[in-house]
Amino acid sequence: MSRRTLRPRTPGPSPPSTGERGENSLCAKWWCVGFITFGGPMALIDVKISHLEMLTRPNLSVTAPRSGLTVLHAQHPTVSYYRYLYAAVGQKYYWQSRAKLSDKKLGAILNDSRVEVHVLHVDGTPAGFAELDRRVADEIELKQFGLVGEFIGQGLGKYFLAWTIEKAWSYHPRRFWLHTCTLDHPVALPNYLKAGFVLFKEEMEREEINA
């Protein structure tokens, strides 16, 4: 899950992953290569990273907050469509990892059948997406998760997270995990905990962001 360029303050072991850091926020946080300015003034800030996991399938029952909701599996998303989703809602949350990838490298990830992009639609309009990474045996990482800004505050995040959890556990993994950080929306960590994720590691890292 490599979401940003991070400078560790204290060394420590990382959880098993594919070597990338993901981005997760119930209000979403995405970044598109077209919106990044790498040459501007930068600032260093301290960020707390929270790693969470589920080892057993939770018993969730979340009622759809409205009609007109559909979750579609984008089985072969184009790079441009993915970049649109990635940029649609989270520019201020500093997602950069996928934006920095070339089209070729990003396309290779998206064309891997073990990487799934599920898009929430409201009356046919994309309202957010969840990305499940199954490339490590016996576990699933929630690599990206969030909503488009116009759809925040309508109960859709809780509903979509519950849907995503059910989808992940349909593969019967040993564990389902993610991480979030203090750059994310304040409700992200509490909502993950309420959904059944358990905190297993915290660490501080120094991050360079656009000032």
Residue 89 has what pLDDT? Answer: 66
Cβ neighbours around 77 below 10 Å, total: 22
User: Of 92 and 183, which is predicted with more confidence?
Assistant: 183
Check whether 196 has a pLDDT greater than 80.
yes
| Confidence bin at 90 (pLDDT 50/70/90) | low
Q: How far is it, in rounded angstroms, from Cα 18 to Cα 82?
A: 19
Per-residue pLDDT, averaged over 75-98, amounts to 85
Among the ranges given (12-26, 60-74, 146-160, 182-196), the one the predictor scored with the smallest mean pLDDT:
12-26
Check whether 118 has a pLDDT greater than 90.
yes
pTM > 0.95: no
Q: Which CATH number fits domain 6-210: 3.40.50.300, 3.40.30.20, 3.40.630.30, 3.30.300.30?
A: 3.40.630.30
Q: How far is it, in rounded angstroms, from Cα 92 to Cα 30?
A: 8
| Confidence bin at 24 (pLDDT 50/70/90) | low
Q: Helix axis angle, 156-169 relative to 188-195, nearest 10°?
A: 50
Check whether 8 has a pLDDT greater than 80.
no
Q: How far is it, in rounded angstroms, from Cα 175 to Cα 105?
A: 27
Among the ranges given (6-10, 125-129, 143-147, 191-195), the one the predictor scored with the smallest mean pLDDT:
6-10
Helix (H, G, I), strand (E, B) or coil at 6: strand
Q: How far is CA 54 from CA 22, 90, 116, 123, in A?
A: 17, 25, 19, 32
Q: In degrees rounded to 5, what are phi and psi of residue 93?
A: -95, 5
Per-residue pLDDT, averaged over 151-163, amounts to 95
User: Of 35 and 165, which is predicted with more confidence?
Assistant: 165
Residue 95 has what pLDDT? Answer: 78
pLDDT tens digits for 39-54? 567 788 898 999 999 9
Residue 43 has what pLDDT? Answer: 83
Residue of 138, 127, 193, 143 whose CA lies nearest to 169: 138
Could you tell me the end-to-end alpha-carbon distance of the chain, in angstroms, rounded to an integer? 24
